Amino acid sequence: MMNTPLNSRGTALLEVTNLNTRIHTSRGELPAIQEVSLTLQSGEILGLVGESGSGKSVTLRSLLKLMPASAQVTGSVKWRGRELTELDAAALRSVRGGEIAMIFQEPMIALNPVLTVWRQIEESLHAHTTLNRKARRRRAIELLNQVGIPAPESRLDDYPHQFSGGMRQRVMIAIALAGNPKLLLADEPTTALDVTIQEQILKLLLNLRDQLGMGIIFVTHDLGVVAQLCDRVAVMYAGRIVETAPVADLLQRPRHPYTQGLIASVPQAGDARTSLQSIEGTPPSLLNLPAGCSFHPRCPYSTEVCRQQVPPLIRLSDNRQVACHHHQHIQQQLAEQLEGV
């Protein structure tokens, strides 16, 4: 089934159409993501939200062909009009870490523990810029300064373990920025950090977006983070995108029952960091997906059609999509609630 890209006006920075990733495992073929389509404009921050195992990381990794050999990826990934899936290994390497950079949840794994921060930034500057050594050193200091590391000259020759968790995450962002990326893929980069440090990193990313005009895809399971950071959100469930919308619309007028459940599970006051686990039931095993809509066993609106047919992701308006057989009913119900009927 073809999904239409979210926003087809103008040339998107990134346009993903019908991305499918199947992983061969000892227990069978695992459809990790199915029919994932999304677009991103320059300077836009898209949140990718969903429970653990819903396919967020596989989506990011599949975009850049970073999946293991056991995975089969199909679909189209258009990067500024170029088809990434058709690039050879060398061309793809120059895009990765250059025009498109990626940061991860745990910088201690992503950073090389035996190389100084300078060596790691320099590696990227060497690969993706034409600066000479002296200029690279200057640029490295500038980058550490840009991500808010105090006294950058004196920190450049330190090793990753000499930085605190929040500072390490900043180092990782500095390395990502070294290739002058136009797109930053961020895979839960603040999940391991405490709330105060998380807020600082989110502010930093917002500033960098404003200064550099980077697009960002930000993976998180935390709706509080989405509300603070993102322009638009795509919600994933069991490997599929089930709803996309501008962030305020999604939070105030969710159209998919799963999104409604996610929002209802966020505590009203106090700690905004929450896991998305208070929806009744558990996510299905991808090796044994329910027939029809994968969410139907947990869904309060479920009827016969939900047990039989996968709902297509349909366009509600220019920038809203939903995959639910009962979206009209839900919309009506919500409108009545808002009117206080």
CB 173, CB 117: distance < 8 Å: no
- Select 57 or 146, whichever has its Cβ closest to ligand ADP: 57
Q: Kindly report the backbone phi and psi dihedral angles of residue 111, in degrees, each rounded to the nearest multiple of 5, phi listed first.
A: -85, 150
Tell me the three state secondary structure of residue 219.
strand
Q: Which does 68 bind (CB under 5 to 8 A by kind): Mg ion, ligand ADP, none?
A: ligand ADP
CB 308, CB 295: distance < 8 Å: no
- State the DSSP H helix or E strand holding residue 38, giving kind and residue range, or none if neither: strand 28-40
How many residues sit close enough to Mg ion to count as binding (CB under 5 A)?
2
One symbol per residue from 153 to 192: x for binding Mg ion (CB under 5 A), - otherwise; what is it? ----------------------------------------
How far is residue 151's CA from residue 163's CA, in Å, rounded to a whole number? 13
Query: Which residues, in sequence order, are CB contacts of 28 under 8 Å at separation 6+?
Result: 287
Among 11, 52, 275, 309, binds ligand ADP (CB under 6 A): 52
Q: Residue 290, interface with ligand ADP (CB under 6 A)?
A: no
- Select 56 or 326, whichever has its Cβ closest to ligand ADP: 56
Token duo for residue 16: 């993903």
CB 278, CB 264: distance < 8 Å: yes
The Cα angle at residue 153 between residues 147 and 157, in degrees rounded to 5: 95
Residue list 51-80, contact with Mg ion (CB under 5 A): 56-57
Q: What is the nearest approach in angstroms of ligand ADP to the Cβ of residue 118?
A: 31
Q: How many Å is the maximal CA-CA distance in the chain?
A: 69
Q: Residue 54, interface with ligand ADP (CB under 6 A)?
A: yes
- Select 169 or 220, whichever has its Cβ closest to ligand ADP: 220
Span from 55-63, 125-133, 169-177, 224-232 in contact with ligand ADP (CB under 6 A): 55-63
CB 276, CB 56: distance < 8 Å: no
- Select 13 or 238, whichever has its Cβ closest to ligand ADP: 238
Q: What is the nearest approach in angstroms of ligand ADP to the Cβ of residue 146?
A: 28
Q: What is the nearest approach in angstroms of ligand ADP to the Cβ of residue 220?
A: 10
Question: Which positions lie near Mg ion, rule CB under 5 A?
Answer: 56-57
